[in-house]
Amino acid sequence: MANQSEKSRAFNLHWGSGIIAEEEAYDGEHHRPTIQLLEFEDGSTSVRFCYYSGNGRFQRSPLIVGESDIDGLRGALENTPRLKELLTRLAG
């Protein structure tokens, strides 16, 4: 099930901070793969691929997405037009 945050959340990385402008996730069998559009204070944007554990904790390990999660994530991106456009550019 997809879930887009209705309220932007702040993030702080060692090279800059800003807000999570768009976020979409898919509730997978073992974790919650998440794609975020990070909007930095200087106006630049980046895409973060991450995941949350079953109990909702942010995980700092690499995101591994199984083939069974791809369709769910694709459907979830319908709610995030900027993220969808960037990922379409990435995939060609």
Q: Tell me, what's the pLDDT at 25?
A: 92
Q: How confident is the model at residue 30 (pLDDT cuts 50, 70, 90)?
A: confident
- At residue 72, the 3 state secondary structure works out as helix
Q: Write down the domain spans for the chain.
A: 9-91
Confidence (pLDDT) at 6: 53
Tally of CB atoms within 10 A around 90: 8
Among candidate residues 36, 41, 35, the one with its CA nearest the CA of residue 17 = 41
Dihedral, 46, 33, 50, 58 alpha carbons, nearest 10: 130
Average pLDDT, the chain: 89
**Is residue 69 over pLDDT 50?**
yes
Per-residue pLDDT tens over the stretch 45-62: 999 999 999 888 999 888
Q: Is the pLDDT of residue 1 over 90?
A: no
In sequence order, the β-bridge partners of residue 59 are 51
Q: Which two tokens stand for residue 64?
A: 């591994």
